[in-house]
Amino acid sequence: MNKSIAVVGAGIAGLTAAHRLKRAGFNVVVFESLDRPGGRMYSTRRGDYVVDLGTIGLLGGSPLLDELVAAGGLNEQFAKTSPMVASIIKHGVARTIDSAHPVRDLVGTDLLSLGTKLKLGRMVIDLLRNHKLFDSENAIGLAALDIETVTEYAARRLGQEAADYLCSPVQRTVWMADARANSVVQFFWTLKQMAYPMYTLSEGNGSLPVALAKTHDMRYLHAVTRMENDESGVKVHWQSNDANFPSGSQAFDACVCALPPPIALKMAPDISDVQRKLFEAIQYTSMLAVHFGLRNRPANRETVLMYPECEYPDMAAVFVNTNKAPGRAPANKGSLSAYFQQDWSKKHFDMSDDALIALALERMRPFYPALDDNMEDVFVQRWPLFAPAAPVGIYRLMEDYQRSLKANPPSRLQFAGDFMPNAGINQATASGAGAAERIVELFR
């Protein structure tokens, strides 16, 4: 097939679209404003340490993810993480729940009173009743559940103690989000995904987009400024920071715009009213993180230490990377990453590195003895766009958008990204594959 397709954005959504389009026989060119692929799926090596600066873990159970890992030649790197061990802090003490023995540990823990534990059965029933709705590619049916925040649901069905010491820490660990602001739909999604095993890539999760990008015609340092769509094709305009390629424009038969909606809105303003409503409503949150390399591996068992909102307005979670996955540090060394809550991160985005590191250390010292003496590397990571917020009402707009995609013939300009219905790698890849499929249909 002699059609040329542009993919704008070399995050995992764009690279999935590129992979599927190339497999279908199209000529694909990928535009990326940075000098590297991966966007928010990004890892780096610093001395002895491999640090996942973006995506922390990959949710198993997705044939598409398996396909991409195989296409990147990374099967040998792709491994299940050890079962997640979570410690939730209550009144300054970390209480541990091992996902290998969730019932035993939940029954035995003094994190929750007996009354609260009994009420958790209601949450299991609510999840089982609706679990089929939570699927990476589907938003239809979610609006009916999208009527209250996580905190409102928890207080109504499970009681305040569960809201404070279970639901809030879960929301904060997976989304670094405030349970009072996000829809209960996101919480159910999160619970469902906890049933799947987590995977990582031993050279860092960012090695997947790096491997996929090697198989495509990549235009790095090309910041796309506009995508113009008409009946004959899509014209892509860019500004180049690459001396080999001047700024310019090129006509393609079709295009996948795989940029987060706040950016996509500026570059491709010619969209339907339904899509505009969704894209204008989607607000991306920010995130600050501090990554630590330790001379000696901490003895702590947990994969993640969870800080509840009611006791800690700033710190959301610490991941013990060396308990999460192989390959993050040599056997004797340790690696920890501290993540700050989204709204707090947005408000304190310009805080100095020194002040942020000092705050992270203050929050972590009670749980990781001799941290200061043990530190051999520390640095701050800032994500201005971390993940889309999920306020109550957003799933109605997602449903409307998805119905409009099904009802109308495919456009030459398709959109992909982690904007619906549950932000993350499985969703971003599903949306990239969906955009590619609609373009294949267009030229069938």
- What type of residue sits at position 222? H
| Residues 6 or more apart in contact with residue 207 via CB below 8 angstroms | 43, 72, 74, 77, 201
SS3 state of residue 317: strand
Euclidean distance between CA atoms 258 and 261, whole angstroms:
9
Check: CB of residue 441 under 8 Å from CB of residue 24.
Answer: no
* 3-class secondary structure, 287: strand
Q: How far apart are CA 51 and CA 152, in angstroms?
A: 36
Smallest distance, ligand FAD to C-beta of residue 222, A: 6
CB of 57 to ligand FAD, least distance (A): 4
Minimum distance of ligand FAD from residue 285's CB (angstroms) = 10
The distance of closest approach from Cβ of residue 440 to ligand FAD in the complex, given in angstroms and rounded to an integer, is: 20
Residue 421, preceding bond cis, omega within 30 degrees? yes
Instruction: Give the C-alpha separation, 312 to 309, whole Å.
Output: 5
Beta carbon nearer to ligand FAD, 87 or 345: 345
CA distance 436 to 22: 9
Rg of the chain taking only CA atoms, in angstroms: 22
Question: Could you tell me the smallest distance in angstroms from the CB atom of residue 18 to ligand FAD?
Answer: 11
Query: Min. distance of Cβ 48 from ligand FAD in angstroms?
Result: 21
Residue owning tokens 């590397």 = 377
The rounded distance, in Å, linking the Cα atoms of 402 and 325 is 36
The token pair that represents 368 in the structure block: 């990781």
Please report how close the Cβ of residue 128 comes to ligand FAD at its closest, in angstroms.
23
Strands 233-240 and 222-230 turn out to be antiparallel
Provide, rounded to whole angstroms, the least separation between the CB of residue 309 and ligand FAD.
19
Phi-psi domain of 384 (left: phi exceeds 0; alpha: psi -120 through 50; beta: other):
alpha
Q: What is the largest CA-CA distance in the chain?
A: 67
247: which residues sit within 8 A by CB, 6+ positions away? 238, 239, 240
Closer to ligand FAD by CB, 8 or 170: give it. 8
Which residue, 78 or 111, is less far from ligand FAD as judged by CB?
A: 78
Minimum gap (Å) between residue 161 Cβ and ligand FAD:
27
The DSSP secondary-structure symbol of 76 reads: G
- Cα separation, 133 vs 131, in Å, equals 5
CB-wise, 41 or 201, nearer to ligand FAD?
Answer: 41
Instruction: Please check whether residue 58 is in contact with residue 206, taking contact to mean a CB–CB distance below 8 angstroms.
Output: no
Nearest to 38 by CA among 282, 256, 211: 211
Minimum CB separation from ligand FAD for residue 85, in Å? 16
Beta strand segments in 184-309, E? 198-201, 217-219, 222-230, 233-240, 248-252, 254-257, 287-294, 304-306
CA–CA separation, 298 vs 328, rounded Å?
A: 14
Are the C-beta atoms of residues 194 and 59 closer than 8 Å to each other? Answer: no
**166 or 198, CB closer to ligand FAD?**
198
Rounded to a whole number of angstroms, the minimum distance from the CB of residue 324 to ligand FAD is 10
Can you give the binding site for ligand FAD, defined by CB under 6 A?
8-14, 31-34, 39-41, 54-57, 59, 223-224, 258-260, 263, 267, 287, 383, 386-387, 417-418, 423-425, 428
